[in-house]
Structure 1
Protein backbone atom coordinates (compact mmCIF):
# COMPACT_ATOMS: atom_id res chain seq x y z
CA UNK A 1 0.00 0.00 0.00
CA UNK A 2 1.32 3.44 -0.92
CA UNK A 3 2.35 5.93 1.79
CA UNK A 4 0.98 9.48 1.65
CA UNK A 5 2.48 12.70 3.00
CA UNK A 6 -0.06 15.50 3.37
CA UNK A 7 0.04 19.26 3.83
CA UNK A 8 -2.63 21.89 3.26
CA UNK A 9 -1.56 22.17 -0.39
CA UNK A 10 0.02 18.84 -1.34
CA UNK A 11 -0.70 15.12 -1.39
CA UNK A 12 2.60 13.29 -1.97
CA UNK A 13 2.24 9.60 -2.84
CA UNK A 14 5.25 7.39 -2.02
CA UNK A 15 5.56 3.86 -3.37
CA UNK A 16 5.62 0.87 -1.08
CA UNK A 17 9.00 -0.88 -1.29
CA UNK A 18 9.08 -3.21 -4.29
CA UNK A 19 5.49 -2.40 -5.28
CA UNK A 20 5.17 0.31 -7.96
CA UNK A 21 8.86 -0.12 -8.79
CA UNK A 22 11.11 -3.18 -8.30
CA UNK A 23 13.84 -2.62 -10.87
CA UNK A 24 17.61 -2.58 -10.56
CA UNK A 25 18.11 1.08 -11.43
CA UNK A 26 16.28 3.57 -9.18
CA UNK A 27 16.38 3.91 -5.39
CA UNK A 28 13.40 1.99 -3.96
CA UNK A 29 13.18 4.19 -0.87
CA UNK A 30 10.99 7.28 -0.81
CA UNK A 31 10.13 6.95 -4.50
CA UNK A 32 7.55 9.68 -5.15
CA UNK A 33 5.06 8.38 -7.70
CA UNK A 34 2.74 11.41 -7.68
CA UNK A 35 2.35 14.91 -6.28
CA UNK A 36 -1.16 16.38 -6.32
CA UNK A 37 -2.26 19.95 -5.62
CA UNK A 38 -5.10 19.26 -3.23
CA UNK A 39 -7.16 22.34 -4.07
CA UNK A 40 -7.61 21.52 -7.76
CA UNK A 41 -6.44 17.93 -8.18
CA UNK A 42 -3.70 19.01 -10.61
CA UNK A 43 -0.88 16.45 -10.76
CA UNK A 44 2.82 16.98 -11.45
CA UNK A 45 4.32 13.54 -12.22
CA UNK A 46 4.33 11.13 -15.13
CA UNK A 47 5.93 7.83 -16.10
CA UNK A 48 9.10 7.09 -18.06
CA UNK A 49 7.26 5.13 -20.73
CA UNK A 50 3.56 4.47 -21.15
CA UNK A 51 4.16 1.36 -23.28
CA UNK A 52 4.26 -1.80 -21.11
CA UNK A 53 7.68 -3.44 -21.11
CA UNK A 54 9.47 -0.37 -22.47
CA UNK A 55 11.99 1.74 -20.56
CA UNK A 56 13.30 1.00 -17.07
CA UNK A 57 10.10 1.57 -15.10
CA UNK A 58 10.86 5.08 -13.86
CA UNK A 59 8.01 7.10 -12.40
CA UNK A 60 7.59 10.46 -10.70
CA UNK A 61 10.50 11.75 -8.64
CA UNK A 62 13.03 8.92 -8.34
CA UNK A 63 16.77 9.06 -7.74
CA UNK A 64 19.62 6.79 -8.80
CA UNK A 65 23.11 6.18 -7.45
CA UNK A 66 25.93 5.28 -9.84
CA UNK A 67 24.32 5.45 -13.27
CA UNK A 68 27.67 4.80 -14.96
CA UNK A 69 29.01 2.18 -12.55
CA UNK A 70 27.68 0.33 -9.50
CA UNK A 71 29.97 -0.20 -6.49
CA UNK A 72 32.18 -3.25 -6.78
CA UNK A 73 30.97 -4.34 -10.22
CA UNK A 74 34.47 -4.60 -11.67
CA UNK A 75 35.76 -6.62 -8.70
CA UNK A 76 32.86 -9.10 -8.76
CA UNK A 77 33.18 -12.38 -10.64
CA UNK A 78 30.34 -13.64 -12.80
CA UNK A 79 27.63 -14.96 -10.48
CA UNK A 80 28.83 -12.87 -7.52
CA UNK A 81 27.09 -9.86 -5.99
CA UNK A 82 27.82 -6.14 -6.23
CA UNK A 83 26.19 -3.18 -4.49
CA UNK A 84 23.62 -0.81 -5.97
CA UNK A 85 22.95 1.90 -3.41
CA UNK A 86 19.29 2.35 -2.50
CA UNK A 87 18.32 -1.08 -3.86
CA UNK A 88 20.43 -4.04 -2.74
CA UNK A 89 23.02 -6.53 -3.87
CA UNK A 90 22.78 -7.32 -7.58
CA UNK A 91 24.14 -10.38 -9.37
CA UNK A 92 26.78 -9.98 -12.06
CA UNK A 93 25.50 -11.91 -15.07
CA UNK A 94 28.52 -11.87 -17.40
CA UNK A 95 31.68 -9.94 -18.21
CA UNK A 96 29.87 -7.19 -20.12
CA UNK A 97 30.28 -3.67 -18.70
CA UNK A 98 27.72 -2.53 -16.15
CA UNK A 99 24.64 -1.03 -17.85
CA UNK A 100 22.05 0.90 -15.84
CA UNK A 101 19.15 -0.21 -18.07
CA UNK A 102 19.82 -3.91 -17.47
CA UNK A 103 17.67 -5.88 -15.03
CA UNK A 104 20.10 -7.69 -12.70
CA UNK A 105 18.78 -10.19 -10.12
CA UNK A 106 18.24 -8.35 -6.81
CA UNK A 107 18.79 -9.24 -3.15
CA UNK A 108 17.13 -6.19 -1.53
CA UNK A 109 18.69 -4.36 1.40
CA UNK A 110 16.88 -4.38 4.75
CA UNK A 111 14.96 -1.12 5.29
CA UNK A 112 13.30 0.52 8.30
CA UNK A 113 10.53 3.09 7.78
CA UNK A 114 9.36 5.54 10.43
CA UNK A 115 7.12 8.56 10.10
CA UNK A 116 3.74 10.20 10.05
CA UNK A 117 1.64 12.13 7.52
CA UNK A 118 4.12 15.03 7.42
CA UNK A 119 7.48 13.26 7.33
CA UNK A 120 8.89 9.78 6.74
CA UNK A 121 12.41 8.38 7.07
CA UNK A 122 13.79 5.32 5.29
CA UNK A 123 16.95 3.78 6.78
CA UNK A 124 18.68 1.34 4.46
CA UNK A 125 20.96 -1.06 6.35
CA UNK A 126 24.14 -2.05 4.51
CA UNK A 127 25.23 -5.48 3.32
CA UNK A 128 28.97 -5.52 2.64
CA UNK A 129 30.41 -7.17 -0.45
CA UNK A 130 34.04 -6.87 -1.62
CA UNK A 131 34.55 -4.13 0.98
CA UNK A 132 31.69 -1.92 -0.28
CA UNK A 133 28.83 -0.97 2.04
CA UNK A 134 26.91 2.19 2.93
CA UNK A 135 24.05 3.13 5.21
CA UNK A 136 21.49 5.42 3.55
CA UNK A 137 19.05 7.55 5.52
CA UNK A 138 16.46 9.34 3.41
CA UNK A 139 13.84 11.66 4.91
CA UNK A 140 10.94 13.16 2.98
CA UNK A 141 9.07 16.06 4.59
CA UNK A 142 6.12 18.05 3.27
CA UNK A 143 5.26 21.55 4.48
CA UNK A 144 2.92 23.91 2.63
CA UNK A 145 3.77 23.67 -1.06
CA UNK A 146 7.27 22.26 -0.45
CA UNK A 147 8.63 18.75 -0.44
CA UNK A 148 12.15 18.29 0.92
CA UNK A 149 14.22 15.13 0.45
CA UNK A 150 17.17 14.92 2.84
CA UNK A 151 19.88 12.30 2.29
CA UNK A 152 22.56 11.05 4.68
CA UNK A 153 25.08 8.50 3.38
CA UNK A 154 27.69 6.80 5.57
CA UNK A 155 30.48 4.61 4.21
CA UNK A 156 30.39 1.56 6.51
CA UNK A 157 32.70 -0.57 4.36
CA UNK A 158 36.47 -0.85 4.02
CA UNK A 159 36.66 0.52 0.46
CA UNK A 160 36.38 4.19 -0.59
CA UNK A 161 33.14 5.14 -2.30
CA UNK A 162 33.28 7.15 -5.53
CA UNK A 163 29.88 7.56 -7.14
CA UNK A 164 27.20 10.06 -8.04
CA UNK A 165 23.50 10.65 -7.35
CA UNK A 166 20.81 12.42 -9.29
CA UNK A 167 17.02 12.57 -9.50
CA UNK A 168 15.35 11.53 -12.73
CA UNK A 169 12.36 13.89 -12.48
CA UNK A 170 9.61 12.40 -14.66
CA UNK A 171 7.45 15.54 -14.71
CA UNK A 172 4.17 16.26 -16.41
CA UNK A 173 1.95 19.08 -15.24
CA UNK A 174 -1.65 17.89 -15.44
CA UNK A 175 -2.50 16.51 -18.87
CA UNK A 176 -0.33 19.08 -20.67
CA UNK A 177 2.20 17.44 -23.00
CA UNK A 178 5.65 18.87 -23.67
CA UNK A 179 5.66 21.66 -26.21
CA UNK A 180 5.69 25.45 -26.63
CA UNK A 181 3.58 26.04 -23.52
CA UNK A 182 6.46 24.91 -21.28
CA UNK A 183 9.61 26.79 -20.31
CA UNK A 184 12.54 25.47 -18.27
CA UNK A 185 14.73 28.06 -16.56
CA UNK A 186 18.02 27.73 -14.67
CA UNK A 187 19.85 30.09 -12.33
CA UNK A 188 21.93 31.44 -15.23
CA UNK A 189 22.76 30.92 -18.87
CA UNK A 190 22.94 27.29 -20.04
CA UNK A 191 24.91 25.89 -22.94
CA UNK A 192 24.92 22.57 -24.77
CA UNK A 193 27.82 20.44 -23.57
CA UNK A 194 29.12 19.63 -27.07
CA UNK A 195 29.93 17.11 -28.42
CA UNK A 196 27.93 15.13 -25.84
CA UNK A 197 24.61 15.92 -27.51
CA UNK A 198 21.81 13.52 -28.20
CA UNK A 199 18.57 14.21 -30.03
CA UNK A 200 17.58 17.72 -28.98
CA UNK A 201 15.20 18.55 -31.80
CA UNK A 202 12.50 21.02 -30.83
CA UNK A 203 14.64 22.49 -28.02
CA UNK A 204 15.59 26.17 -28.11
CA UNK A 205 18.25 27.51 -25.75
CA UNK A 206 18.23 31.25 -25.03
CA UNK A 207 20.28 32.37 -22.06
CA UNK A 208 18.86 30.72 -18.96
CA UNK A 209 15.71 29.55 -20.80
CA UNK A 210 14.97 26.34 -22.61
CA UNK A 211 11.83 26.44 -24.77
CA UNK A 212 10.16 23.88 -27.00
CA UNK A 213 9.44 25.00 -30.56
CA UNK A 214 6.91 22.21 -31.07
CA UNK A 215 5.59 18.97 -29.64
CA UNK A 216 8.59 16.60 -29.42
CA UNK A 217 8.66 13.81 -31.98
CA UNK A 218 10.31 11.02 -30.03
CA UNK A 219 12.82 11.39 -27.19
CA UNK A 220 15.04 14.40 -26.66
CA UNK A 221 18.27 14.39 -24.66
CA UNK A 222 21.16 16.74 -24.07
CA UNK A 223 23.90 17.28 -21.54
CA UNK A 224 24.10 20.89 -20.46
CA UNK A 225 26.66 23.23 -18.96
CA UNK A 226 25.31 25.58 -16.29
CA UNK A 227 27.03 28.41 -14.40
CA UNK A 228 29.28 27.29 -11.57
CA UNK A 229 27.49 27.90 -8.30
CA UNK A 230 28.45 26.61 -4.87
CA UNK A 231 24.88 26.31 -3.55
CA UNK A 232 21.99 26.50 -3.77
CA UNK A 233 21.15 25.82 -7.40
CA UNK A 234 17.63 26.24 -8.79
CA UNK A 235 15.68 25.21 -11.85
CA UNK A 236 12.01 25.75 -12.64
CA UNK A 237 9.67 24.01 -15.08
CA UNK A 238 6.60 26.14 -15.77
CA UNK A 239 3.46 25.56 -17.81
CA UNK A 240 2.92 29.16 -18.86
CA UNK A 241 -0.82 29.18 -19.78
CA UNK A 242 -1.85 27.80 -16.38
CA UNK A 243 0.96 29.32 -14.31
CA UNK A 244 1.60 25.95 -12.64
CA UNK A 245 5.22 25.07 -11.96
CA UNK A 246 7.73 22.76 -10.28
CA UNK A 247 10.91 24.28 -8.84
CA UNK A 248 13.86 22.34 -7.46
CA UNK A 249 16.77 23.68 -5.41
CA UNK A 250 19.67 21.98 -3.66
CA UNK A 251 22.24 22.78 -0.99
CA UNK A 252 25.25 21.29 -2.77
CA UNK A 253 27.50 22.11 -5.76
CA UNK A 254 26.32 20.84 -9.15
CA UNK A 255 28.50 18.16 -10.70
CA UNK A 256 26.68 18.12 -14.06
CA UNK A 257 23.18 18.43 -15.50
CA UNK A 258 21.17 16.83 -18.28
CA UNK A 259 17.73 17.08 -19.83
CA UNK A 260 15.74 14.09 -21.11
CA UNK A 261 12.15 13.57 -22.11
CA UNK A 262 9.52 13.09 -24.77
CA UNK A 263 6.01 14.37 -25.37
CA UNK A 264 4.66 12.91 -22.11
CA UNK A 265 7.38 13.88 -19.60
CA UNK A 266 10.16 16.42 -19.09
CA UNK A 267 13.11 15.37 -16.93
CA UNK A 268 15.69 17.90 -15.71
CA UNK A 269 18.51 15.99 -13.99
CA UNK A 270 21.01 17.51 -11.53
CA UNK A 271 23.95 15.33 -10.45
CA UNK A 272 25.97 15.42 -7.23
CA UNK A 273 29.42 13.85 -6.88
CA UNK A 274 29.93 11.64 -3.80
CA UNK A 275 33.38 10.73 -2.44
CA UNK A 276 33.57 9.00 0.96
CA UNK A 277 36.43 7.30 2.72
CA UNK A 278 35.59 4.44 5.11
CA UNK A 279 33.73 5.84 8.13
CA UNK A 280 32.88 9.15 6.47
CA UNK A 281 29.37 10.60 6.21
CA UNK A 282 27.94 13.14 3.80
CA UNK A 283 24.51 14.79 3.68
CA UNK A 284 22.56 16.81 1.13
CA UNK A 285 18.99 18.01 0.57
CA UNK A 286 16.81 18.57 -2.47
CA UNK A 287 13.78 20.83 -2.06
CA UNK A 288 10.82 20.91 -4.45
CA UNK A 289 8.25 23.69 -4.62
CA UNK A 290 4.95 23.14 -6.43
CA UNK A 291 2.33 25.69 -7.42
CA UNK A 292 -1.08 25.54 -9.07
CA UNK A 293 -3.99 27.96 -9.08
Structure 2
Protein backbone atom coordinates (compact mmCIF):
# COMPACT_ATOMS: atom_id res chain seq x y z
CA UNK A 1 0.00 0.00 0.00
CA UNK A 2 2.83 2.39 0.80
CA UNK A 3 4.32 2.05 -2.69
CA UNK A 4 0.91 2.61 -4.24
CA UNK A 5 0.42 5.72 -2.08
CA UNK A 6 3.81 7.03 -3.17
CA UNK A 7 2.96 6.49 -6.84
CA UNK A 8 -0.38 8.27 -6.41
CA UNK A 9 1.36 11.15 -4.60
CA UNK A 10 4.03 11.37 -7.33
CA UNK A 11 1.52 11.54 -10.17
CA UNK A 12 -0.58 13.96 -8.14
CA UNK A 13 2.45 16.24 -7.85
CA UNK A 14 3.10 16.03 -11.60
CA UNK A 15 -0.53 16.88 -12.29
CA UNK A 16 -0.38 19.85 -9.91
CA UNK A 17 2.80 21.21 -11.50
CA UNK A 18 1.36 20.78 -14.99
CA UNK A 19 -1.79 22.60 -13.91
CA UNK A 20 0.31 25.38 -12.38
CA UNK A 21 2.12 25.93 -15.69
CA UNK A 22 -1.18 26.11 -17.56
CA UNK A 23 -2.65 28.58 -15.06
CA UNK A 24 0.32 30.95 -14.98
CA UNK A 25 -0.82 34.32 -16.40
CA UNK A 26 0.57 35.10 -19.84
CA UNK A 27 -0.02 37.31 -22.88
CA UNK A 28 0.88 37.20 -26.57
CA UNK A 29 2.21 40.11 -28.60
CA UNK A 30 3.08 40.50 -32.29
CA UNK A 31 4.25 43.07 -34.83
CA UNK A 32 3.47 41.31 -38.11
CA UNK A 33 6.94 39.77 -38.34
CA UNK A 34 7.44 38.30 -34.88
CA UNK A 35 5.07 36.78 -32.33
CA UNK A 36 6.01 36.25 -28.70
CA UNK A 37 4.48 34.84 -25.54
CA UNK A 38 5.30 36.44 -22.18
CA UNK A 39 4.60 35.16 -18.68
CA UNK A 40 3.39 37.87 -16.31
CA UNK A 41 4.66 38.37 -12.73
CA UNK A 42 2.34 37.04 -10.02
CA UNK A 43 3.42 36.12 -6.49
CA UNK A 44 0.74 33.42 -6.26
CA UNK A 45 0.32 32.03 -9.79
CA UNK A 46 3.35 33.27 -11.74
CA UNK A 47 5.36 30.78 -13.77
CA UNK A 48 8.54 31.94 -12.00
CA UNK A 49 8.46 32.83 -8.29
CA UNK A 50 12.07 32.29 -7.22
CA UNK A 51 14.53 34.93 -6.03
CA UNK A 52 17.26 35.01 -8.68
CA UNK A 53 15.90 36.55 -11.87
CA UNK A 54 13.84 39.65 -12.58
CA UNK A 55 10.21 38.45 -12.78
CA UNK A 56 9.49 40.72 -15.77
CA UNK A 57 10.27 39.71 -19.35
CA UNK A 58 10.01 35.91 -19.24
CA UNK A 59 9.56 34.74 -22.86
CA UNK A 60 8.84 31.00 -23.30
CA UNK A 61 8.31 31.38 -27.04
CA UNK A 62 9.31 33.79 -29.80
CA UNK A 63 8.71 32.92 -33.44
CA UNK A 64 10.09 34.53 -36.60
CA UNK A 65 9.60 33.12 -40.11
CA UNK A 66 8.53 29.77 -38.70
CA UNK A 67 11.59 29.47 -36.45
CA UNK A 68 11.59 29.58 -32.64
CA UNK A 69 14.27 31.15 -30.45
CA UNK A 70 13.27 30.45 -26.84
CA UNK A 71 11.78 27.53 -24.93
CA UNK A 72 12.08 25.14 -22.01
CA UNK A 73 15.71 24.08 -21.62
CA UNK A 74 15.65 22.57 -18.11
CA UNK A 75 14.42 19.24 -16.74
CA UNK A 76 11.28 19.14 -14.61
CA UNK A 77 9.61 22.27 -13.29
CA UNK A 78 9.31 24.04 -9.96
CA UNK A 79 8.23 27.71 -9.83
CA UNK A 80 10.57 28.21 -6.85
CA UNK A 81 13.63 26.81 -8.62
CA UNK A 82 16.22 29.50 -9.34
CA UNK A 83 16.62 28.53 -13.01
CA UNK A 84 13.08 27.47 -14.02
CA UNK A 85 12.88 30.36 -16.44
CA UNK A 86 13.09 31.09 -20.18
CA UNK A 87 14.02 33.82 -22.59
CA UNK A 88 16.28 36.91 -22.33
CA UNK A 89 15.92 37.17 -18.55
CA UNK A 90 18.00 39.39 -16.30
CA UNK A 91 19.81 38.73 -13.02
CA UNK A 92 20.82 41.67 -10.80
CA UNK A 93 23.59 41.47 -8.23
CA UNK A 94 22.21 41.65 -4.68
CA UNK A 95 22.29 45.08 -3.02
CA UNK A 96 22.90 45.62 0.71
CA UNK A 97 23.67 42.00 1.51
CA UNK A 98 26.97 42.73 3.26
CA UNK A 99 25.38 45.30 5.58
CA UNK A 100 22.40 43.14 6.54
CA UNK A 101 22.44 40.83 9.55
CA UNK A 102 20.96 37.34 9.39
CA UNK A 103 17.19 37.67 9.23
CA UNK A 104 17.31 41.23 7.88
CA UNK A 105 16.41 42.34 4.37
CA UNK A 106 18.58 42.92 1.33
CA UNK A 107 17.53 44.04 -2.15
CA UNK A 108 17.21 42.03 -5.35
CA UNK A 109 16.12 44.32 -8.18
CA UNK A 110 13.18 42.91 -10.13
CA UNK A 111 12.30 40.53 -7.29
CA UNK A 112 11.94 42.45 -4.01
CA UNK A 113 13.36 42.54 -0.50
CA UNK A 114 14.84 39.17 0.46
CA UNK A 115 15.60 37.70 3.87
CA UNK A 116 19.28 37.12 4.53
CA UNK A 117 20.22 33.71 5.86
CA UNK A 118 23.27 32.85 7.98
CA UNK A 119 25.65 32.96 5.01
CA UNK A 120 27.90 35.94 4.34
CA UNK A 121 27.71 35.60 0.56
CA UNK A 122 24.78 35.55 -1.80
CA UNK A 123 24.16 32.25 -3.61
CA UNK A 124 22.43 32.54 -6.99
CA UNK A 125 21.19 28.94 -6.77
CA UNK A 126 19.47 29.43 -3.42
CA UNK A 127 15.84 30.53 -3.25
CA UNK A 128 15.57 33.16 -0.51
CA UNK A 129 12.40 34.09 1.33
CA UNK A 130 10.84 37.22 -0.16
CA UNK A 131 9.93 39.61 2.67
CA UNK A 132 8.41 42.28 0.43
CA UNK A 133 7.34 41.66 -3.18
CA UNK A 134 6.74 45.37 -3.75
CA UNK A 135 4.04 46.73 -6.04
CA UNK A 136 3.63 45.72 -9.68
CA UNK A 137 1.68 47.05 -12.63
CA UNK A 138 1.48 45.65 -16.16
CA UNK A 139 0.34 47.43 -19.32
CA UNK A 140 -0.28 45.31 -22.43
CA UNK A 141 -0.38 46.58 -26.01
CA UNK A 142 -0.54 44.71 -29.32
CA UNK A 143 3.23 44.72 -29.76
CA UNK A 144 4.52 45.48 -26.26
CA UNK A 145 4.23 44.82 -22.55
CA UNK A 146 5.36 47.37 -19.96
CA UNK A 147 6.20 46.17 -16.46
CA UNK A 148 6.47 48.50 -13.46
CA UNK A 149 7.98 47.33 -10.18
CA UNK A 150 8.22 49.57 -7.11
CA UNK A 151 9.98 48.89 -3.82
CA UNK A 152 9.76 51.17 -0.79
CA UNK A 153 11.83 50.61 2.35
CA UNK A 154 13.84 52.49 4.98
CA UNK A 155 17.09 51.78 3.12
CA UNK A 156 16.44 51.08 -0.55
CA UNK A 157 13.58 52.23 -2.73
CA UNK A 158 13.14 52.31 -6.49
CA UNK A 159 10.77 52.56 -9.42
CA UNK A 160 11.80 50.18 -12.20
CA UNK A 161 10.09 50.17 -15.59
CA UNK A 162 10.86 47.51 -18.18
CA UNK A 163 9.25 47.54 -21.61
CA UNK A 164 9.39 44.46 -23.84
CA UNK A 165 8.60 45.62 -27.37
CA UNK A 166 8.46 44.12 -30.86
CA UNK A 167 9.48 46.95 -33.19
CA UNK A 168 6.86 47.63 -35.84
CA UNK A 169 8.07 46.81 -39.34
CA UNK A 170 11.30 45.18 -38.13
CA UNK A 171 12.34 41.70 -36.97
CA UNK A 172 13.35 43.14 -33.60
CA UNK A 173 12.74 42.55 -29.91
CA UNK A 174 13.69 45.51 -27.71
CA UNK A 175 14.10 45.58 -23.92
CA UNK A 176 13.89 49.16 -22.63
CA UNK A 177 14.80 49.78 -18.98
CA UNK A 178 14.28 52.83 -16.77
CA UNK A 179 15.50 52.53 -13.18
CA UNK A 180 14.89 55.40 -10.75
CA UNK A 181 16.34 55.46 -7.25
CA UNK A 182 13.52 56.82 -5.06
CA UNK A 183 15.23 56.03 -1.75
CA UNK A 184 17.80 57.57 0.56
CA UNK A 185 20.81 55.39 -0.24
CA UNK A 186 22.78 54.93 -3.48
CA UNK A 187 22.00 51.77 -5.42
CA UNK A 188 24.82 50.08 -7.29
CA UNK A 189 24.42 46.71 -8.95
CA UNK A 190 25.51 44.57 -11.87
CA UNK A 191 22.99 42.99 -14.24
CA UNK A 192 23.53 40.21 -16.72
CA UNK A 193 21.11 39.08 -19.38
CA UNK A 194 21.32 35.31 -19.27
CA UNK A 195 19.87 34.90 -22.79
CA UNK A 196 18.50 31.36 -22.57
CA UNK A 197 18.34 30.71 -26.32
CA UNK A 198 16.70 27.50 -27.56
CA UNK A 199 16.87 27.68 -31.36
CA UNK A 200 14.29 25.49 -33.10
CA UNK A 201 14.63 23.08 -30.15
CA UNK A 202 17.98 21.90 -31.53
CA UNK A 203 20.39 20.55 -28.92
CA UNK A 204 23.67 22.40 -28.45
CA UNK A 205 26.47 21.05 -30.61
CA UNK A 206 27.83 21.37 -34.18
CA UNK A 207 26.13 24.15 -36.11
CA UNK A 208 26.06 26.62 -33.20
CA UNK A 209 28.44 29.58 -32.98
CA UNK A 210 28.75 32.82 -30.99
CA UNK A 211 30.64 35.76 -32.53
CA UNK A 212 31.93 38.93 -30.83
CA UNK A 213 33.45 42.11 -32.34
CA UNK A 214 36.69 41.52 -30.42
CA UNK A 215 39.19 38.71 -29.85
CA UNK A 216 38.33 36.64 -26.79
CA UNK A 217 41.17 36.72 -24.25
CA UNK A 218 41.97 35.91 -20.64
CA UNK A 219 42.39 38.67 -18.04
CA UNK A 220 46.00 39.20 -19.14
CA UNK A 221 45.04 39.77 -22.76
CA UNK A 222 46.22 36.37 -24.01
CA UNK A 223 43.88 35.06 -26.74
CA UNK A 224 41.84 32.09 -25.55
CA UNK A 225 42.31 30.45 -28.94
CA UNK A 226 45.80 29.48 -27.80
CA UNK A 227 44.54 27.47 -24.81
CA UNK A 228 40.84 26.56 -25.09
CA UNK A 229 41.15 23.93 -22.36
CA UNK A 230 41.54 26.75 -19.82
CA UNK A 231 38.17 28.28 -20.67
CA UNK A 232 35.81 25.58 -19.46
CA UNK A 233 34.62 24.75 -22.96
CA UNK A 234 36.29 21.33 -22.60
CA UNK A 235 36.22 19.57 -25.98
CA UNK A 236 32.74 20.77 -26.93
CA UNK A 237 33.82 23.96 -28.70
CA UNK A 238 36.84 25.76 -30.10
CA UNK A 239 37.70 29.44 -30.15
CA UNK A 240 38.65 31.04 -33.45
CA UNK A 241 39.76 34.54 -32.49
CA UNK A 242 36.46 36.32 -31.87
CA UNK A 243 34.25 33.29 -32.43
CA UNK A 244 33.15 30.31 -30.33
CA UNK A 245 32.33 27.33 -32.57
CA UNK A 246 30.68 24.24 -31.13
CA UNK A 247 32.12 20.99 -32.46
CA UNK A 248 30.59 18.31 -30.23
CA UNK A 249 27.12 17.71 -28.80
CA UNK A 250 26.58 18.50 -25.13
CA UNK A 251 25.09 15.48 -23.37
CA UNK A 252 24.49 15.64 -19.61
CA UNK A 253 27.18 18.31 -19.31
CA UNK A 254 27.78 22.02 -19.75
CA UNK A 255 30.48 24.20 -21.30
CA UNK A 256 31.45 27.76 -20.53
CA UNK A 257 33.85 30.66 -20.76
CA UNK A 258 33.74 32.41 -17.40
CA UNK A 259 34.99 35.05 -17.51
CA UNK A 260 35.92 36.25 -20.99
CA UNK A 261 37.81 39.44 -21.82
CA UNK A 262 38.89 41.43 -24.85
CA UNK A 263 36.07 44.01 -24.86
CA UNK A 264 36.43 47.73 -24.21
CA UNK A 265 34.57 48.42 -20.92
CA UNK A 266 33.95 52.00 -22.03
CA UNK A 267 32.59 51.39 -25.54
CA UNK A 268 29.02 50.13 -26.15
CA UNK A 269 30.06 49.14 -29.69
CA UNK A 270 31.63 45.99 -28.22
CA UNK A 271 28.20 44.93 -26.97
CA UNK A 272 27.42 43.42 -30.37
CA UNK A 273 26.98 39.65 -30.27
CA UNK A 274 25.82 37.27 -32.98
CA UNK A 275 24.46 33.84 -32.18
CA UNK A 276 23.81 31.50 -35.11
CA UNK A 277 22.67 27.96 -35.78
CA UNK A 278 23.58 26.92 -39.31
CA UNK A 279 21.57 23.71 -39.13
CA UNK A 280 18.42 25.75 -38.53
CA UNK A 281 19.60 28.56 -40.81
CA UNK A 282 18.87 31.28 -38.28
CA UNK A 283 20.66 33.87 -36.18
CA UNK A 284 20.20 36.79 -33.81
CA UNK A 285 22.24 39.94 -33.24
CA UNK A 286 22.29 41.38 -29.70
CA UNK A 287 23.28 45.01 -29.09
CA UNK A 288 23.05 47.46 -26.19
CA UNK A 289 23.55 51.18 -25.63
CA UNK A 290 25.70 50.55 -22.53
CA UNK A 291 29.19 48.98 -22.46
CA UNK A 292 29.99 45.47 -21.26
CA UNK A 293 31.42 45.35 -17.74
CA UNK A 294 31.84 41.57 -17.56
CA UNK A 295 31.23 38.66 -19.92
CA UNK A 296 30.56 34.93 -19.89
CA UNK A 297 29.34 32.29 -22.30
CA UNK A 298 27.45 29.35 -20.79
CA UNK A 299 25.77 26.40 -22.43
CA UNK A 300 23.86 23.30 -21.38
CA UNK A 301 22.47 20.49 -23.57
CA UNK A 302 19.38 22.50 -24.64
CA UNK A 303 20.44 26.13 -24.34
CA UNK A 304 23.24 28.47 -25.32
CA UNK A 305 23.73 31.71 -23.41
CA UNK A 306 26.02 34.63 -24.24
CA UNK A 307 25.94 36.57 -20.95
CA UNK A 308 27.01 40.22 -21.12
CA UNK A 309 26.93 42.20 -17.86
CA UNK A 310 26.50 45.94 -17.44
CA UNK A 311 26.82 48.22 -14.42
CA UNK A 312 23.68 49.76 -12.95
CA UNK A 313 24.20 52.73 -10.64
CA UNK A 314 21.83 55.44 -9.42
CA UNK A 315 22.17 57.89 -6.55
CA UNK A 316 19.00 59.05 -4.75
CA UNK A 317 16.74 60.79 -7.26
CA UNK A 318 18.77 59.66 -10.28
CA UNK A 319 17.53 57.65 -13.25
CA UNK A 320 19.58 55.03 -15.09
CA UNK A 321 18.49 53.67 -18.47
CA UNK A 322 19.64 50.96 -20.85
CA UNK A 323 18.23 49.32 -23.96
CA UNK A 324 19.00 45.89 -25.38
CA UNK A 325 18.01 45.11 -28.98
CA UNK A 326 17.64 41.67 -30.56
CA UNK A 327 17.55 41.55 -34.36
CA UNK A 328 16.50 38.17 -35.79
CA UNK A 329 17.54 36.94 -39.23
CA UNK A 330 17.82 33.89 -41.46
CA UNK A 331 21.03 32.65 -43.07
Q: TM-score normalised to the size of structure 2?
A: 0.81
- Mapped contact 2:186–2:314 kept (Cα < 8 A): yes
Map 1:1-293; keep pairs closer than 5 Å. 1-18=25-42, 19-37=46-64, 39-40=65-66, 42-52=67-77, 56-66=83-93, 70-106=94-130, 107-129=132-154, 131-143=155-167, 144-193=170-219, 199-201=232-234, 202-217=236-251, 218-222=253-257, 223-228=259-264, 230-232=267-269, 233-292=271-330
Closer, same or farther: CA 65–55 of 1 in aligned 2, 3 Å: closer
| Counterpart Cα distance in 2 of 1:164 and 1:188 | 22
How many angstroms does 1:55 deviate by? 5.9
How many angstroms does 1:23 deviate by? 0.7
- Mapped contact 1:149–1:287 kept (Cα < 8 A): yes
| Counterpart Cα distance in 2 of 1:44 and 1:81 | 37
| Counterpart Cα distance in 1 of 2:188 and 2:70 | 30
What's the RMSD between the two structures over aligned residues?
2.1
| Counterpart Cα distance in 2 of 1:171 and 1:123 | 25
- Mapped contact 1:48–1:56 kept (Cα < 8 A): no
Closer, same or farther: CA 102–207 of 1 in aligned 2, 3 Å: same
- Mapped contact 1:150–1:286 kept (Cα < 8 A): yes
Q: Can you list the C-alpha shifts for 1:158-201, whole angstroms capped at 9, x where unaligned? A: 11112111111111110211112111111122224479966311
Matched residues, number: 287
How many angstroms does 1:266 deviate by? 0.2
Closer, same or farther: CA 97–156 of 1 in aligned 2, 3 Å: same
Secondary structure of 2:62's partner?
Answer: strand
How many angstroms does 1:48 deviate by? 4.8
| Counterpart Cα distance in 2 of 1:198 and 1:94 | 33
How many angstroms does 1:291 deviate by? 2.5
Structure that is richer in helix per residue: 2
Runs ≥4 residues deviating over 6 A: none
| Counterpart Cα distance in 2 of 1:126 and 1:198 | 39
- Mapped contact 1:4–1:11 kept (Cα < 8 A): yes
How many angstroms does 1:47 deviate by? 3.5
Structure that is richer in strand per residue: 1
The structure with higher relative contact order (CA 8 Å, sep 6+) is: 1
Long gaps (5+) in structure 1: none
Long gaps (5+) in structure 2: 1-24, 225-229
| Structure number with larger C-alpha Rg | 2
| Counterpart Cα distance in 1 of 2:142 and 2:262 | 36
